[in-house]
Amino acid sequence: MDHSATTPIDSRVVDAMMPYLTQRFGNASSIHQFGQEARAAVDKARRQIASLISARANEIVFTSGGTEANNLAIRGVCEAAQAHGRHIITSAIEHPSVRGVLEYLEKNGWTITRLPVYDGGVVRIEDVRAAIRDDTVLISVMMANNEIGTIQPVKEIGALVRATRESGQKHLSFHTDAVQASGRIPIDVEHVRCDLLSLSAHKMYAPKGTGALFIRRGVRLFPQQIGGHQERERRAGTESVPNIVAFGKAAELAREEMDQRQEQTERLRDRFEEKVQSRIDDIVFNGDRRRRLSNVSNISFRFIEGEGLLIHLDMQGVAVSTGSACSSGTLEPSPVIKALGRDEELARGAIRFSFGKDNTDEDVDVAVEAVARAVESLRSISPLARESLST
Amino acid sequence: MPYSDIFKDHLANPRNAGELPDANAIAEETNPVCGDRLRLSLRIKDERIEAGRFLAYGCAPTLACGSALAEMLEGSTVEEARALTRQEVIDAIGGLSSRKQHAAALAIEALRKALDEVADR
């Protein structure tokens, strides 16, 4: 129930990558036949990934993951465009790998506008329009949020950026972090009109350690890894051939099975929410339920804190997340839930359940029972729950 | 550091949870930084803690420390309870990383407050 954190590797993906972990170990930069075999495999994967998002193969740059793709996109474009302005627009609910880069740039003299997402967890296009200044060089808004799954108006932002550029502001770029969206909803970069788009392999049933950045032809970007000619000088370093082959295969499967996976996870998610709602009182769903990824459910349980619930569920064999998976272990309540205007108690009691293609009805039913037991137990020791009964 | 098995057991099966209707020492402490709360109710007779109950809201260590403390207190003398240290609570739940030790501090503060209440009478 934690597929937004990561996914199991599909057996068909393992089969595809296995030869590149054993016999076909060539370096894709070598001229001899071993190298050329590896090069052909990397190029095939590049086409498979391009095809998932309707891009051209030479617009895909492989990275070590989604975090590096976000770093390369934001820092790369900002360094290239800084002579034209040092203002960036983003949302209040970006993943830490975007949020952190922007905080770093802010400390170095850049101005950041963080757009509100209101109680539904969705940016409003009129706020984006109003935030654009003469010195804005980048808009970075995620495609779908990692905690609540809400889908952002990226197509509208893409059209706005295109129009702004045509009216003379040539140095404005649009980046979207599609790590959670990719493989889960159809993506067409011609439709979204983004200039940069980040992807990660391990969210779509491939191994950890590989991601990609779509860089639209003509977009100026300074590399962040220097010291090699790989990836057309945009990302130095020997390509991780087996991981890239796996990523390509996973992208191909995601494209072929997209509808089926969406229907399956939506059915499981809706079954889960219906049952939780009928079993447990005093809960709040987080994020606009009509506008989110089909596999995510984020619920705040009043009177209790998420970490205790997570450990309870873990002991019953059900894995979930509180806040962002990366921030587990810190005391800070989720900034995403707080951005929805929720009070501290609801932000601390938020849990993300995220379903995958291999989950079953039985998994959902086991999880519902586990959640009901855990919530009841934690509320029995909560002073907040007692106080609510006496008022 | 990962949480110990005894820690998880306190969380899954809290000892002495609730409130004593006939308590003669009740105290609640709140951590002003994170908002964690711990409420203790004790029934003390002849300088001995006959019964102790806890209620807790907050991160998992706060809940586990509350449970462990309530269990340790029952049957102890007031003097023994007053001598209890943060480290003893931490040891009772199988250890805590330094970042989480404030939970044990909250438990000891609530205990001292409850015992002071009795002493003041």
Is A210 in a helix, a strand, or coil? Answer: coil
A264 with A232, same domain: the answer is no
pLDDT tens-place string over residues A340-387:
999 989 999 999 999 999 999 999 999 999 999 999 999 999 999 988
Cβ proximity of A381 and B11 under 8 Å: no
> From A374, which residue of chain B is nearest by alpha-carbon distance?
B12
At which of A233, A254, A275 does a domain end?
Answer: A254
Angstroms from A284 CA to nearest CA on chain B? 18
Say whether B35 and A380 touch across the interface (CB within 8 A): no
- Mean pLDDT confidence for A212-232: 95
> From A348, which residue of chain B is nearest by alpha-carbon distance?
B58
Does A326 score more than 50 pLDDT? no
Say whether A331 and B59 touch across the interface (CB within 8 A): yes
In a domain, A382, yes or no: yes
Beta strands in B31-98 (DSSP E): 37-45, 48-57
CA distance A301 to A375: 8
Model pLDDT, residue B119: 73
CA distance B24 to B32: 26
- Pairing relation of β-strands A111-115 and A136-140? unpaired
Angstroms from A84 CA to nearest CA on chain B? 43
Mutation test of the interface with chain A: which of B11, B28, B31, B69, choosing the one with the most A Cβ atoms within 10 A?
A: B11
Closest CA to A62 of A189, A255, A253, A240: A240
Domain range summary for chain B, segments of one domain joined by +: 5-120
Please tell me the CATH code under which domain B5-120 is placed.
3.90.1010.10
Does A324 score more than 60 pLDDT? no
Model pLDDT, residue A333: 82
pLDDT band at A330 (very low <50, low <70, confident <90, very high): very low
B11 touches chain A (CB under 8 A): yes
In a domain, A106, yes or no: yes
A51 with A171, same domain: the answer is yes
Say whether B37 and A383 touch across the interface (CB within 8 A): yes
User: Token pair of B67, please?
Assistant: 């449970």
A127 with A267, same domain: the answer is no
> From A330, which residue of chain B is nearest by alpha-carbon distance?
B99
At which of A208, A234, A254 does a domain end?
Answer: A254
A231 with A307, same domain: the answer is no
Residue with tokens 């599609």: A178
A182 with A276, same domain: the answer is no
pLDDT tens-place string over residues A134-175:
999 999 999 999 999 999 999 999 999 999 999 999 999 999
CA distance A78 to A86: 8
- Mean pLDDT confidence for B100-112: 94
User: Token pair of A214, please?
Assistant: 């779509």
Angstroms from A308 CA to nearest CA on chain B? 5
- Mean pLDDT confidence for A80-100: 97
3-state helix, strand, coil in chain B (%, to 5): 45, 20, 30
Say whether B17 and A307 touch across the interface (CB within 8 A): no
Beta bridge partners of residue A8, listed in sequence order: none
The CATH number covering residue A145 comes to 3.40.640.10
Check: complex ipTM more than 0.85 = yes
A162 with A140, same domain: the answer is yes
Does A122 score more than 70 pLDDT? yes
- Pairing relation of β-strands A350-354 and B37-45? unpaired
Model pLDDT, residue A285: 97
Angstroms from B88 CA to nearest CA on chain A? 22
At which of A214, A230, A254 does a domain end?
Answer: A254
By Cβ distance, the residue of A315, A348, A382 closest to B12 is: A315
Q: Which of A31-35, A323-327, B95-99 is predicted least confidently?
A: A323-327
Q: Average pLDDT, whole number, for chain B?
A: 93
Which residues span the domain enclosing A79? 11-254
Does B52 score more than 90 pLDDT? yes
Mutation test of the interface with chain B: which of A282, A322, A331, A351, choosing the one with the most B Cβ atoms within 10 A?
A: A331
Q: Which of A204-218, A262-276, B23-37 is predicted least confidently?
A: B23-37
In a domain, A194, yes or no: yes
CA distance A124 to A29: 45
In a domain, A23, yes or no: yes
CA distance A213 to A70: 8
A285 with A367, same domain: the answer is yes
CA distance A386 to A181: 41
By Cβ distance, the residue of A307, A344, A380 closest to B60 is: A307
Single out the catalytic residue among A258, A284, A326, A385.
A326
Q: Average pLDDT, whole number, for chain A?
A: 95
Model pLDDT, residue B100: 87
A210 with A84, same domain: the answer is yes
Say whether B59 and A305 touch across the interface (CB within 8 A): yes
CA distance B47 to B80: 10
What single letter denotes the amino acid at residue A347? A
Angstroms from A366 CA to nearest CA on chain B? 17
Per the annotation, the verdict on A326 as an active-site residue is yes
CA distance A261 to A182: 12
Say whether B18 and A312 touch across the interface (CB within 8 A): no
Q: Which residues of A touch B (CB under 8 A)?
A: 303-305, 307-308, 311-312, 315, 329, 331, 344, 348, 377-378, 380-384, 386
Say whether A381 and B28 touch across the interface (CB within 8 A): no
Model pLDDT, residue B116: 92
- Mean pLDDT confidence for A243-252: 98
A142 with A262, same domain: the answer is no
Within the 66-95 window of chain B, which residues sit less than 8 Å (CB to CB) from chain A? 66-67
Could you give the number of structural domains in chain A? 2
B67 neighbourhood in chain A, CB within 8 Å: 381
pLDDT band at B33 (very low <50, low <70, confident <90, very high): confident
B28 touches chain A (CB under 8 A): yes
Q: Which of A38-52, A160-174, A316-330, B14-28 is predicted least confidently?
A: A316-330
A24 with A88, same domain: the answer is yes
What share of chain B has pLDDT > 70, as a percent? 99
CA distance A71 to A51: 23
CA distance A17 to A297: 32
Model pLDDT, residue A327: 35
Contacts of A288 (CB under 8 A, 6+ apart): A120, A121, A122, A150
Model pLDDT, residue B121: 67
A40 with A83, same domain: the answer is yes
The CATH number covering residue A335 comes to 3.90.1150.10
A329 with A247, same domain: the answer is no
